[in-house]
Amino acid sequence: MFKLAKYFKPYIGIIIAAVALLFIQAMCDLALPDYMSNIVNKGIQQGGIVNAVPEAIRKSQMDKLMLFMTSEEKSEVIKNYTLIDKTSPDYDRYIKDYPKLEQEPVYILNNIDKSEIDKIDPVIGRALIAVSGVEKIKAEAKNGVLSFNGMQIPADTDLFEVIAKLPPQRVLAMADAIAEKFSALGESTVNQAAVSLVKEEYIALGMNTDRIQSHYIITTGLIMLLISLLGAACTVAVGFIAARTAAGVSRDLRSAVFTKVESLSNAEFDKFSTASLITRTTNDITQIQMVVFMLIRMVIYAPIMGAGGVIRAVGKSVSMSWIIAVAVIVLLGFILLILAIAMPKFKLIQELIDKLNLVTRENLSGMMVIRAFNNQMFEKKRFDKANQELTDTNLFVNRVMSVMFPAMTLIMNGVTLFIVWIGAHQIENSSMQVGDMMAFIQYAMQIIMSFLTISMVFIIIPRASVSAQRIAEVLKTEPAIKDPKEPRSFNNKEKGIVEFKNVYFRYPGAEEYALKNISFKAMPGQTTAIIGSTGAGKTTLVNLILRFYDVTGGKVLIDGVDIRDVTQHELREKIGYVPQKAVLFSGTIESNLKYANEKATREHIKKCAEIAQAMEFISEKPEGFDSHIAQGGTNVSGGQKQRLSIARALVKKPDIYIFDDSFSALDFKTDVALRRALKEHTGSSTVIIVAQRISTIMNADQIIVLDDGRIVGVGTHKELMKNCTTYQEIALSQLLKEELA
């Protein structure tokens, strides 16, 4: 994947935006268990009372609390409260909320910030627990006598009056001793104990505690809803960004691969099969697109959730964090084991897809031959074999991967059971609250789901990695045919002179030369024909003119300039090429003829079609030049395809025409008429004809005879009939002596 990193550069901005949104989404998801814990702990168990600082407290109760505070603490607490009695101007406003105010003065909490509340919360909490401890001592009196601070006193004695007479240091020590007993049970238990005492005070004041509880639960629930909506909005936005980025990267990769393939020479096409290039441009890039989407949408999100979940879970219970650690270690070990088994198969899958595409392509393109030889069953078996190999490999990978999800579920459920079991004991020992245990379970699930998400991505990352390597292999392939850094231009004074000077050529990887010491010159206004037996090197020779391959030795010159010194575009602008196998593109007849020159007029196209003897069948079609041409020209005959290909080359009006055995599908009458019209139209151009039929080239100005990659004869028909044995053999095998005269 790193080899394709440069294709992500245009999307860095939106990827960063996606990461920011994912962070917000993760924070939202991580916050929800905390709020759920608060609803259970504070909303249900604590009645909606969140801390030990009461919003209102009776003066008599506050006086008791003051006994267990230092002078500094007293002043800090008192300054945050306002004493309300019947003489206060706000009496009528408060009497509705605090009915007890009618009987005694009440301290009302001022509007203070959270930092101040946090400051006085432990002070009041300790004092509340101390007061409760004293009242509990009084409740445990036996036989009219109670034991207090080492003294035996009557049960009806007011202990708080006794405490008020004790030295302050002794009273504070007493409060610390009582608070220390609660502290041993845990901070949350101390807080709950203090809050329960605040709730008792609210009941004593006549406050509606049910309304306090409902208000807290509803408010917290609404906050959770807003957080969920924010998280959902981030999810949608990230999904959009991920999809847009993945689609954009795949589009750029397809464009880059297509552009690279267009620049490759025939030597590189020999290295990559057509089926493989199609697979790399489609299936492989689809794999990349899928993994890019998941990388943005899940892989970035999962670590944030995993790390955040660990921090939050440890905050809830350090003693149970080992459960998560064990679960994560087991998960990682299991994932690595699965990948070690499945990884080698991913590369094999892509290779088998190549093979299946190759078999399918050969079947479709060779359907008529297959039917003609009654080999449908053989081809079916060949396809079934390739299909079965791919199926078996996919099934093996899927079976291995299918073990992962039940195992993950087992681990998750096992972790939940462990947490509930251990958490229940801690709740029994008052060292943990129910809400905290529930939150811990959710954080554990979030952590495990993060690793599960990453493992899901790991399923496709290896396959995408293989695809990335295959795509990178195409993109890093340097074409053998390159434009010069400082290109020259053709000589405008001379147009169409083609010259071979001692040319040698050998295909990449071949031991023998396909062409050996080829030297000749083709002049403008003349027709140069090339003939020879099958495999003599005729098509190879014309491919060198077009620079589909570069010569191994010697030079190919056009207008006195080595074709390697000019750009490929300028070279091919001078040439009108008709290949050995006529190729048409899906579209119309007109669009195929305009392929050579998109600015060509209808009149010019019609004239070229007449020269190519194509108007005969074009005029018979109801739509004429607008008639549809199927992919590959399958809805026209071989002869019609050849004539349209010739017309397409004529539309270009180049300096050089190359006809590579382009008349083989024509009948003799059409062949003669076409060559006659062609001679008139291409009078000033250089015409190079590769042919198998002697009748096609008998009137050529120059005939070059090839045999085993060498020139064995050059001259006119009459000259070669006299002095070239190879030519004579070819000619006499096709025509009678009387016809050759």
Strand partners, 82: 108
Q: Which of 157, 180, 207 is the last residue of a domain?
A: 207
Q: Is residue 372 in a domain?
A: yes
The verdict on 466 and 504 lying in the same domain is no
The verdict on 198 and 256 lying in the same domain is no
- 3-class DSSP state of 714: strand
Per-residue tokens: 599: 């600015």
Q: What is the pTM of this model?
A: 0.70
The verdict on 256 and 334 lying in the same domain is yes
The verdict on 342 and 420 lying in the same domain is yes
Q: Tokens 């030297």 sit at which residue?
A: 519
Per-residue tokens: 304: 């944030």
Q: Is residue 142 in a domain?
A: yes
Residue 632's CATH number: 3.40.50.300
Phi, psi of 588 (to 5 degrees): -120, 170
Per-residue tokens: 175: 């409060």
Give the residue from 613, 597, 624, 606 showing the smallest Cα distance to 675.
Answer: 613
pLDDT for position 163:
72
Helices of type H across 39-158:
59-66, 71-78, 91-95, 114-139
Residue 309's CATH number: 1.20.1560.10
pLDDT for position 228:
94
CA–CA gap between residue 179 and residue 225 (Å, rounded): 38
Q: How many CA atoms lie within 13 A of 740 on its CB side?
A: 20
The verdict on 452 and 530 lying in the same domain is no
CA–CA gap between residue 442 and residue 411 (Å, rounded): 14
Neighbouring residues of 6: CB distance < 8 A, sequence distance ≥ 6: none
CA–CA gap between residue 695 and residue 678 (Å, rounded): 15
Provide the 10 A C-beta neighbour count for residue 492: 7
Angle, helix 434-475 to helix 12-38, in steps of 10 degrees = 160
Strands 686-690 and 702-707: unpaired
pLDDT (tens digit, 9 = 90+) per residue, 451-466?
777 777 766 677 677 7
pLDDT for position 475:
85
pLDDT (tens digit, 9 = 90+) per residue, 333-373?
877 787 777 777 777 887 788 788 788 878 877 777 787 77
pLDDT for position 598:
87
Element housing 658 (H / E): strand 656-660
In sign, the C-alpha dihedral spanning 191, 196, 201, 202 is positive
pLDDT for position 185:
47
Per-residue tokens: 297: 């949408």
pLDDT for position 144:
64
- 3-class DSSP state of 16: helix
Domain count, the chain: 3
Answer yes or no: are the C-beta atoms of 95 and 103 closer than 8 Å.
no
Answer yes or no: are the C-beta atoms of 304 and 427 closer than 8 Å.
no
pLDDT (tens digit, 9 = 90+) per residue, 79-120?
999 999 888 888 888 898 889 988 899 999 999 888 898 888
Q: Which of 153, 179, 207 is the last residue of a domain?
A: 207
Strands 145-148 and 151-154: antiparallel
pLDDT (tens digit, 9 = 90+) per residue, 167-215?
777 767 776 666 666 555 445 566 677 888 888 888 988 888 888 889 9
Q: Which of 475, 507, 537 is the last residue of a domain?
A: 475
The verdict on 140 and 259 lying in the same domain is no
Domain that holds residue 718: 498-740
Give the residue from 307, 319, 329, 305 showing the smallest Cα distance to 436.
Answer: 319
pLDDT for position 223:
94
The verdict on 191 and 134 lying in the same domain is yes
Compute mean pLDDT per 10 residues along the chain, 741 residues long, and list them.
Answer: 76 91 92 88 84 90 86 88 89 88 90 89 84 75 62 68 73 68 55 82 88 90 94 93 92 89 76 77 86 84 85 79 81 78 75 82 77 82 89 85 77 82 78 80 84 72 77 83 87 83 89 91 91 88 90 92 91 89 88 88 90 88 88 82 89 90 78 82 86 85 92 91 89 76 59
Provide the 10 A C-beta neighbour count for residue 37: 23
- Maximum CA extent, the chain: 153
